[in-house]
Amino acid sequence: DTGVSQDPRHKITKRGQNVTFRCDPISEHNRLYWYRQTLGQGPEFLTYFQNEAQLEKSRLLSDRFSAERPKGSFSTLEIQRTEQGDSAMYLCASSSDRVFDEKLFFGSGTQLSVL
């Protein structure tokens, strides 16, 4: 068990470009979450997968954001036509759905800077 992995760690892009982030959850976890965090704030929920199904999506998530989790394993988060307001730390987390075993395990995050 190597924990939750996120790639890349840092991404600098120009406004209007598309970016894609990858998350590899803990292998036996069937729940996967994406969060966004800005400086001094707590993580803000973006979306949630149970296996390959995307079950929840924040109303704050614009149409420029899309996430996938093919085959219920790794997940990708894509941001199209990036804006400066998208600059943030993007965090991925996974958990089991076994009762009393639902601790969230986070990756180290991808820091996005939009110039």
Partner 1 sequence: KQEVTQIPAALSVPEGENLVLNCSFTDSAIYNLQWFRQDPGKGLTSLLLIQSSQREQTSGRLNASLDKSSGRSTLYIAASQPGDSATYLCAVENTGNQFYFGTGTSLTVIP
| Contacts with partner 1, residue ranges (CB under 8 A) | 4, 6, 31, 33, 35, 40-45, 48, 50, 55-56, 91, 93, 100, 102-109, 111
In the complex, what is the shortest distance from the CB of residue 52 to partner 1, in angstroms, rounded to a whole number? 15
Helix or strand or coil: residue 47? strand
Beta carbon nearer to partner 1, 18 or 113? 113
Q: How many CB atoms lie within 10 A of CB 83?
A: 12
In the complex, what is the shortest distance from the CB of residue 45 to partner 1, in angstroms, rounded to a whole number? 5
Beta carbon nearer to partner 1, 21 or 33? 33
Beta carbon nearer to partner 1, 56 or 81? 56
Cross-strand bridge partners of residue 31: 50, 95
Helix or strand or coil: residue 70? helix
Beta carbon nearer to partner 1, 56 or 68? 56
Q: What distance in Å separates the CA atoms of residue 19 and residue 78, rounded to the nearest whole number?
A: 6
Q: What distance in Å separates the CA atoms of residue 41 and residue 92, rounded to the nearest whole number?
A: 16
Q: What distance in Å separates the CA atoms of residue 112 and residue 103, rounded to the nearest whole number?
A: 26
In the complex, what is the shortest distance from the CB of residue 7 to partner 1, in angstroms, rounded to a whole number? 13
